[in-house]
Amino acid sequence: MNIIIVTACLAGVAHSKMCAAALTKEAERRGHTVWNEIQSDSSRTGKVTPEQIEQADVVLFAYAVAIMEKERFRGKKVLKVPIEKALRNVKGTMDKLEALAAE
């Protein structure tokens, strides 16, 4: 499965990077391909490409602030989870993402 993980917190540093790393590790352990985009309230790192969006089976928004340009993901299956919940329950979040992809 191809997954896009977009994390967004105020500074785009600690929570976003920790969450992206933990979710990516779990997804890759399960055999999935992952692309990450880390956002803050004013910038982003690793902006996913239109090609990656097209290839993605599902998208995860783990957020503490609004996701920028979320309209790019229109038509995709999207799971939205507060970033702290995603960090506290990485396996459960990945289970929900896999279930969404299977729908």
Query: What would the pLDDT profile of 83-101 be if each residue is shown by its tens digit?
Result: 999 999 999 999 999 999 9
User: Would you state the pLDDT for residue 11?
Assistant: 63
> Does residue 5 carry a pLDDT above 70?
yes
pTM for the full predicted model: 0.93
CATH number of the domain where residue 93 is located: 3.40.50.2300
* Residues 17, 37: Cα–Cα separation, whole Å: 10
Q: Which pLDDT value is given to residue 12?
A: 53
Of the pLDDT bands very low, low, confident and very high (cuts 50, 70, 90), residue 79 is very high
Q: Which domain holds residue 55?
A: 2-102
Q: How many CA atoms lie within 13 A of 89 on its CB side?
A: 8
pLDDT the model gives residue 40: 78
Burial of 74 (C-beta count, 10 Å sphere; 0-12/13-18/19+):
exposed
Tally of structural domains, the chain: 1
Identify which of 80, 97, 75, 56 has the alpha carbon closest to the alpha carbon of residue 7. Answer: 80
Average pLDDT over residues 70-95: 97
Predicted local confidence at residue 13, as pLDDT = 59
Q: What is the pLDDT of residues 18-67, one digit of tens each?
A: 999 999 999 999 999 999 999 877 767 789 999 999 999 999 999 999 99
The one catalytic residue in 9, 48, 60, 97 is: 9
**Is 9 one of the catalytic residues?**
yes
Residues 32, 2: Cα–Cα separation, whole Å: 6
